[in-house]
Chains A and B, each alone.
Chain A
Amino acid sequence: MSETAEYAETASPGAGDAAPAASKSRKAATPSWRSRLYRWDIKASPYLFVAPFFVFFGAFGLFPLLYTGWASLHRLELTNLDGGTWLGLENYRNLLGSDYFWNALGNTFTIGVISTVPQLAIALGIAHLLNYKLRGSTLWRVAMLTPYATSVASATLVFTLLYSWDGGMVNWLIGQVGVDPINWRESTWGSQFAVSSIVIWRWTGYNALIYLAAMQAVPHDLYESAALDGASRWQQFRHVTVPMLRPTILFTVVVSTIGATQLFGEPLLFGGTSGSKGGAAHQFQTLGLYLYDQGWINGHLGRASAVAWLMLAILLLIAAVNLLIARRLRRDR
């Protein structure tokens, strides 16, 4: 298509009767400054519209990624960012030989499981309840979202006090039924349970609302026919709701898994002073905390970068596994 024709075509619909005359007069001359600007506008402005994302991605996503990659191959200290010495894969070798790394990986996994599984199960149940006709349903739905809206810091502070081993409310409650006080922060399972309870408290409502949205998209006649067949509420939930929600559940599983792998704020604040150690025996030190401890407390930025890259690798692995499962599920349907 010739340049002038393109111009005429795009200009004409709006120009009305005056358009042919105008385009004829321009056809004689070489493309004017205005038309060139206009063409440039059409070609370039879409790129400009999407540019902010890419500029930001470049500055805050790609560059840090590449820089940490470079840093992970060097001995780079917080006290001297200019002079990294080349180490090759030394940092990675050290990490894979470090008990702390494997401990953190294990903790991340166990805390991830004991927070994600109950969280999604409870969310599904709550969503099912909210899906009934309720008085003041909006109120209930908003209430579900309030924990999500509170900041990690304030939520964790409150939970830390609840779980304080000396005079905390949880120990007082279990004391009522004759259980000895538990040192929630310094026992392995106690601390992991405490940290996951904070995660569960914060994220259950959020997931419940996602499930609720998906549930409301389930065609109502499915329930009607199930009811006609004599299915109870529970049977309806199991045989209609859950299968229809499968893609949504998969989505929340993926999102929660990524969140669990990056778990950081809750254990850090739960640990109090020197919280990045994750307890005296590192019993709730997650990978995120380990990274922070290496980089910002000990000042080994190179090693911290290597942790970051290993975390990325683990996340990619999880994503791959998820993809396989999703494909398997689809085939089963």
Chain B
Amino acid sequence: MRTSSRRSRRLVALAAVTTLATGLLTACSSDDDGSGGSDGKITLNVGTFGVLGLKQAGLYEEYEKAHPNIKIKENVIERNDLYYPKLLTQLQSGAGVNDVAAIEVSNITEVVQTQAAKFEDLSKAKGVSKDTYLDWKWAQATTEDGKTVGLGVDIGPTALCYRKDLLKKAGLPTDREELAKAWAGDWDKYVALGEKYMKKAPKGTKFVDSASSVYNSVFAGATERYYDKSGKEIYEESQGRKDAWDTAMKVAQGDMSAKLKQFDPTWDSGFANAKFATVSCPAWMAGYIQEKTGPSGKGQWDMAKAPTAGNWGGTFLGVPSAGKHKKEATELAVWLTQPEQLAKVFAKQASFPSTPSVYDKLKPSAATSAYFNNAPITELFAGIAKDIPSAIYGIKDAQIGQSITDIGVLQVEQQGKTPEEGWEAAQEEIKDVLGQ
């Protein structure tokens, strides 16, 4: 009796181990992303970075209501520099991809040139018309042979946001028209105003948040960026890059920057504690400012046209071919990027649509308007959007830009290096980034 019980116990153990081992092995290979759940619903995963505004504007709920068989799940990664490598990894392995994936504009060229085969062609999707989107936005996400890997969500027409209370205390004008006129067309005038500000600056405040922010706004208006038409890097002699760098250097060396690193927690608290008077303000930044400054900033923030019109940032939605529900995902991506939907995102988040047909009808929410002292948000951004110069994006734009701001500018701004040393360091970093 005892033998058999011992033997059976051993067999049970053996079976347990076997099932455990096979269970673990299959656990590795099975891609359980909750799709096709027990209730017969299809779950569509949307991968985004930062605050895209689609969820905030209630678009997912609306879509789910209209399509009872669909459930939408948004997977957010806070920063694009962490989101993008993950997107690439998923595309390469074909596993764990989101059904719909957001792509940042500084990565779009690399995606178009190296990953197009891994995306669905959205130009031929039902309900998509090229004319809906801004020409240059459409072109950015389209390969030479006409395959469109992403549909435009928002663009980043760039204004300047400023705190009225601080400018007033420093004895500067606070009227948006007056300010825009004071620095129109020339970033040096903006810097000159900063010098004035610093003479009577309210205690503990600076004119701008960071020299990098100034670099990014000036560069946003550049016609010549880091690459030329043939895809060759020209960051060394590029006029746009030089102008942006020189202005940033004036800001860094003029001690008019709060020396905060953008998108760091300390930058966030800089908003809350009113540490700086102006900040570069692409449309998508409006939501960020409201969130980080909080109720204390209501009515204190205002926005004015920047010296030059530019575009900083913006997003596309693509459908990876490795997704399980390509058809449904394509439908969702198309629906989300229709003008009516993007207008709703603007109302909630002030992210500016890439679909010109709605520009006359856009309305920011009452709260956003009140927050920015009833600035004519729509007219302002629409006006800038019209003047955005067409620019060539390259495959490593994001990494080159980051090398310049986070290495070069920061060395001058925070480590007291000379502009020459800073630029030298940035160049060396870029060479490393490009693998030269």
Binding site for B on A (CB under 8 A): 11, 14-16, 38, 41, 45, 48-49, 51-52, 55-56, 59, 78-82, 98-100, 157, 160-161, 164-167, 183, 185-187, 272-274, 277, 280-281, 296-300, 303
Contacts and interface: CB of A to CB of B under 8 A. Distances in A.
Contacts of A185: 414
Given A48-B18, A51-B17, A298-B435, 9 more contacts: A78-B85, A98-B432, A100-B432, A160-B265, A161-B265, A187-B415, A273-B81, A274-B406, A296-B85
Contact of B10 (A41, A80, A299): A41
Contacts of A281: 407, 411, 415, 425
Residue with the greatest number of chain B CB neighbours at <10 A, chosen from A15, A56, A274: A274
A11 B407 CA distance: 74
Interface string B401-413: 0100011001100
B2 interface: yes
A280 B262 contact: no
Contact of B28 (A59, A160, A187, A303): A59
A166 B10 contact: no
B105 to A, nearest CB: 17
A51 B21 contact: yes
Given A157-B265, A161-B265, A297-B85, A55 B11 contact: no
B321 to A, nearest CB: 15
Interface string B267-300: 0011001010000000000000000000000000
Interface in B1-45: 2-3, 6-7, 10-11, 13-14, 17-18, 20-21, 24-25, 28
Given A55-B25, A59-B28, A274 B433 contact: no
22 contacts: A45-B17, A51-B17, A55-B24, A79-B88, A81-B92, A82-B92, A100-B432, A165-B259, A166-B259, A166-B275, A183-B415, A186-B410, A272-B265, A277-B429, A280-B406, A280-B407, A280-B411, A280-B414, A281-B415, A297-B81, A298-B433, A298-B435
Contact of B3 (A15, A51, A303): A15
A112 B429 CA distance: 25
A113 B322 CA distance: 47
Contacts of B262: 273
Contacts of A14: 2-3, 6
A15 B3 CA distance: 6
Contacts of A167: 269, 273
Q: What 3 A-B pairs have minimum CB-CB distances, sorted nearest first?
A: A280-B410, A272-B264, A274-B406
B263 A273 contact: yes
A78 B88 contact: yes
A2 to B, nearest CB: 20
Given A280-B415, A299-B85, A80 B399 contact: no
Contacts of A11: 3
Contacts of A298: 399, 432-433, 435
A299 B398 CA distance: 12
A76 to B, nearest CB: 11
Contacts of A51: 17, 21
Interface size, B (range):
35 or more
A166 B24 CA distance: 50
B69 interface: no
A15 B264 CA distance: 73
Nearest to A272: B264
Contacts of A100: 432
Residue with the greatest number of chain A CB neighbours at <10 A, chosen from B10, B18, B406: B406
Residue with the greatest number of chain A CB neighbours at <10 A, chosen from B6, B258, B415: B415
B435 A38 contact: no
Nearest to B425: A281
A78 B89 contact: yes
Contacts of B88: 78-79, 299
A26 B32 CA distance: 50
Given A78-B88, A78-B92, A298-B432, A52 B259 contact: no
Contacts of B21: 48, 51-52, 55
A109 B162 CA distance: 45
B261 interface: yes
Contact of B110 (A79, A166, A272, A277): A79
Given A14-B2, A273-B79, A297-B85, A52 B20 contact: yes
B263 A166 contact: no
A99 B425 CA distance: 12
Nearest to B115: A79
Contacts of B432: 98, 100, 298
B114 interface: yes
A273 B399 contact: no
Given A52-B24, A186-B415, A303-B435, A273 B14 contact: no
A303 B436 CA distance: 12
B85 A273 contact: no
Interface string B79-96: 101000100110011000
A45 B3 contact: no
A277 B24 contact: no
Interface in B383-436: 399, 402, 406-407, 410-411, 414-415, 425, 428-429, 432-433, 435
Contacts of B263: 272-273
Contacts of A55: 21, 24-25
Contacts of B79: 273
B406 A166 contact: no
A98 B432 CA distance: 9
B414 A186 contact: yes
B341 to A, nearest CB: 30
A99 B424 CA distance: 14
A167 B265 CA distance: 12
B266 interface: yes
Contacts of B20: 52
Nearest to A303: B435
Contact of A273 (B24, B264, B414, B415): B264
Given A52-B21, A186-B410, A272 B261 contact: yes
B6 to A, nearest CB: 6
B10 A45 contact: yes
Contacts of B14: 41, 45, 48
Nearest to B414: A186
Nearest to A19: B3
A277 B258 contact: no
B20 to A, nearest CB: 7
A79 B114 contact: yes
